[in-house]
């Protein structure tokens, strides 16, 4: 394959224009009727508030004219499987012809077919294909992203995926949180030996990868076609021994009781949760676990079981929204489209959906101190949108409303 030049190499990210100065002619999405200003100093938010209240000490700084743009915090995509080999359009066609996701998986397709392609791909090939996908997300204002392993399923190939995830973060100057998902599917060579595979995950793969600094969190696919509740708990215990936070693919196709288990382990998030029970909601509320909604997978699988949004809302469980980008169930590369779908399919309000891709998504990654808000002291991550009002973020489908992205204190993208 041809050598790949990332759009923004490590050196060039550092050489992008600094965002330091006063950003004026802005309207914060949370209060679009008011003129606001943002001060960026040393790549961090130095001040934010109504333009009229800008302290005199900042008046002499260089000015960036926002041109009356609407502003949100940089977006956070808190659940992706961005690094993998190949693609699975053939399964999309099989499902159109009537096969279910479970049937495709049981017929040797599904996750294990991406495992084959991922094992065959070199690190550079994986980097090149994932970089293209990442560029789509960044162009829409994503400033932090979670990337899971789970298509390698051996120490060597899980490491390869996680190394690519780290490289992407460095190359593009974007915050990447890596999640080890060794317990994503049973690899073919362990057919009928699930217990032995989970032992390998817990005793060899996870400790080795964690020691290499490649793991920020640990996830499991707890489902009839994946791993049981007991196996999930075994992985959580291994994570706990290493002081790593956990999260869970929970109650996507059935109610396995995974969310309550994850909450007992203080999970950062439970994701999918179409079949979440009342007990699961209560456990998540008590533990402060974020509910990550993945309308792209719901849509692609033509699911009909909507997550219990009203009950989550009533319980005060924070709801995040993410692409779940993966080659099987959510080939989506637009977080704004997920905002639209969260509103249309799941009936989130616009402010809920926006919080879902900013504040609550940051929390789902344990990044609430640095991402998901425009607040004094945080690294400067914000997006200027060519829009009049916040509802337009959820309303348009396929528009490209980004005017400018400030990522990690640099002007990463502008029109």
Segment contacting Fe ion (CB under 5 A): 58-66, 312-320, 322-330, 396-404?
Answer: 322-330
Number of Cβ atoms within 10 Å of the Cβ of 89: 10
For 198-245, list the strands marked E by DSSP.
Answer: 217-221
The reply on whether position 109 binds ligand NIG by CB under 6 A is no
The reply on whether position 216 binds Fe ion by CB under 5 A is no
HSE of 39, CA atoms in CB hemisphere, 13 A = 18
Interface residue with ligand NIG among 8, 26, 111, 259 (CB under 6 A) is 111
46 or 295: whose CB is closer to ligand NIG? 295
CA pair distance 403, 43, nearest whole angstrom: 19
Shortest CB 310 distance to ligand NIG, Å: 23
CA pair distance 163, 333, nearest whole angstrom: 21
16 or 273: whose CB is closer to ligand NIG? 273
Selection from 141, 175, 173 nearest residue 7 by Cα: 173
Per-residue x/- mask for ligand NIG, residues 226 to 265, rule CB under 6 A? Answer: -----------------------x--x-------------
Return contacts of 121-124, CB within 8 angstroms, 24+ apart: 121/85, 121/86, 123/160, 123/163, 123/164, 124/1, 124/4
Compute φ and ψ for 144, nearest 5 degrees.
-145, 145
The reply on whether position 324 binds Fe ion by CB under 5 A is yes
CA pair distance 348, 289, nearest whole angstrom: 18
Shortest CB 324 distance to Fe ion, Å: 4
HSE of 191, CA atoms in CB hemisphere, 13 A = 5
Unique residue bearing structure tokens 């640099």? 410
129 or 329: whose CB is closer to ligand NIG? 329
Per-residue x/- mask for ligand NIG, residues 193 to 232, rule CB under 6 A? Answer: ----------------------------x-----------
157 or 410: whose CB is closer to ligand NIG? 157
Rounded (10°) CA dihedral 101, 250, 145, 67 = 90
70 or 164: whose CB is closer to ligand NIG? 164
Shortest CB 340 distance to ligand NIG, Å: 19
The number of residues that bind Fe ion (CB under 5 A) is 1
Unique residue bearing structure tokens 């460095």? 170
CB-CB contact of 270 with 263 (8 Å)? yes
Which of ligand NIG, Fe ion, none does residue 157 bind (CB under 5 to 8 Å by kind)? none
CA pair distance 23, 216, nearest whole angstrom: 33
Residue 5: strand, helix, or coil: coil
Which of ligand NIG, Fe ion, none does residue 329 bind (CB under 5 to 8 Å by kind)? ligand NIG
Selection from 46, 47, 24 nearest residue 37 by Cα: 24
Extract the tokens encoding 97.
Answer: 């012809």
- Dump the DSSP string for 177-202: EEEEEEETS--GGGTT-HHHHHHHII
Shortest CB 34 distance to ligand NIG, Å: 39
Closest CB to ligand NIG belongs to which residue? Answer: 328
The reply on whether position 327 binds ligand NIG by CB under 6 A is yes
Which of ligand NIG, Fe ion, none does residue 327 bind (CB under 5 to 8 Å by kind)? ligand NIG
Closest CB to Fe ion belongs to which residue? Answer: 324
The reply on whether position 356 binds ligand NIG by CB under 6 A is no
The reply on whether position 410 binds ligand NIG by CB under 6 A is no
140 or 324: whose CB is closer to ligand NIG? 324
CB-count exposure of residue 385 (10 Å: 0-12, 13-18, 19+)? buried
Interface residue with ligand NIG among 72, 179, 232, 326 (CB under 6 A) is 326
The reply on whether position 323 binds ligand NIG by CB under 6 A is no
Beta partners for residue 146, in sequence order: 177
Extract the tokens encoding 142.
Answer: 């994503």
326 or 340: whose CB is closer to ligand NIG? 326
The reply on whether position 295 binds ligand NIG by CB under 6 A is no
The reply on whether position 303 binds ligand NIG by CB under 6 A is no
Interface residue with ligand NIG among 129, 161, 232, 329 (CB under 6 A) is 329
Contact residues for ligand NIG, defined by CB under 6 A: 81, 110-111, 114, 221, 249, 252, 297, 324, 326-330
Contact residues for Fe ion, defined by CB under 5 A: 324
């Amino acid at each position: 394959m041809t050598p790949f030049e990332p759009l923004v190499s490590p050196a060039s990210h550092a050489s992008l224009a600094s965002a330091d100065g006063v950003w004026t002619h802005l309207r914060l999405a949370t209060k679009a009727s008011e003129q606001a200003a943002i001060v960026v100093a040393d790549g961090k938010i130095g001040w934010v508030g109504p333009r009229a209240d800008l302290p005199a000490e900042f008046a002499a700084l260089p000015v960036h004219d926002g041109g009356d743009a609407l502003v949100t915090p940089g977006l956070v995509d808190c659940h992706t499987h961005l690094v993998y080999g190949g693609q699975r359009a053939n399964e999309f066609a099989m499902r159109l012809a009537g096969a279910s996701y479970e049937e495709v998986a049981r017929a040797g397709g599904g996750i294990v077919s991406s495992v084959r392609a991922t094992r065959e791909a070199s690190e550079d090939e994986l980097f090149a294909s994932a970089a293209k996908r990442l560029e789509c997300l960044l162009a829409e204002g994503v400033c932090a992203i979670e990337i899971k392993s789970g298509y390698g399923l051996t120490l060597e190939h899980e490491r390869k995926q996680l190394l690519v995830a780290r490289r992407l973060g460095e190359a593009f100057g974007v915050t990447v949180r890596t999640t080890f998902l060794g317990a994503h599917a049973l690899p073919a060579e362990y057919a009928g030996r699930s217990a032995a595979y989970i032992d390998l995950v817990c005793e060899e793969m996870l400790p080795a990868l964690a020691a290499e600094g490649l793991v920020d969190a640990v996830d499991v696919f707890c489902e009839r076609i994946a791993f049981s509740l007991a196996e999930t708990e075994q992985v959580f215990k291994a994570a706990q021994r290493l002081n790593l936070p956990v999260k869970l693919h929970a109650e996507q196709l059935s109610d396995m009781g995974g969310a309550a288990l994850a909450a007992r382990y203080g999970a950062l998030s439970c994701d999918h949760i179409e079949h979440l029970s009342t007990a699961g909601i209560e456990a998540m509320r008590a533990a402060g676990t974020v509910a990550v909604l993945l309308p792209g997978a719901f849509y692609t699988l033509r699911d009909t079981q909507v997550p219990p949004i009203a009950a989550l809302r009533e319980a005060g469980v924070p709801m995040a929204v993410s692409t779940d980008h993966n080659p099987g169930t959510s080939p989506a590369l637009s977080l704004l489209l997920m905002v639209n779908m969260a509103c249309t399919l799941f009936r989130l309000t616009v402010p809920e959906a926006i919080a879902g891709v900013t504040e609550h998504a940051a929390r789902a990654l344990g990044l609430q101190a640095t991402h998901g808000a425009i607040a004094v002291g945080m690294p400067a991550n914000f997006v200027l949108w060519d829009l009049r009002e916040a509802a337009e973020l959820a309303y348009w489908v396929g528009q490209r409303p980004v005017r400018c992205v400030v990522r990690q204190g640099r002007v990463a993208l502008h029109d």
